[in-house]
Amino acid sequence: MHPKNTRDNRVQARVEPELKQAAEDIFNQLGITTDEAIRMFYAQVKLRGGIPFDVALPNQDTQDAMEEAEQPEKLEAYASFADFRKKTGV
């Protein structure tokens, strides 16, 4: 049996403070509350019949790029976009 007021059900989750704050900053920029964001997520799960985004491990190329981005001193620098294009053949 479902309660008459659908907002009577409570969802609780433990989230790292930094992650929570980062998400709430984005919600504020979007003009929505955390409660609204969670309701939107649940609505999309119901609508799509599953998680509304891909949940997968990144492939090796993506993992390598992520690791490379964590070490900017190892990234190659270019004097200009034209130099980058010339070097990469784009």
Model confidence at 62: pLDDT above 70: yes
How many CB atoms are closer than 10 A to CB 38?
Answer: 14
Model confidence at 2: pLDDT above 80: no
- Residue 88's identity, in one-letter code, is T
Its pTM stands at: 0.59
Whole-angstrom distance, CA of residue 37 vs CA of residue 43: 10
Q: Is 1 strand, coil or helix?
A: coil
How many CB atoms are closer than 10 A to CB 5?
Answer: 7
Q: What is the mean pLDDT of the chain?
A: 90
Q: 8-49: per-residue pLDDT in tens?
A: 788 999 999 999 999 999 999 999 999 999 999 999 999 999
45-74: average pLDDT: 91
Residue 52 has a pLDDT of 95
Domain ranges for the chain: 15-55, 56-90
Whole-angstrom distance, CA of residue 79 vs CA of residue 42: 47
For 73-88, b where at least 16 C-beta lie within 10 A, e where not — what string? eeeeeeeeeeeeeeee
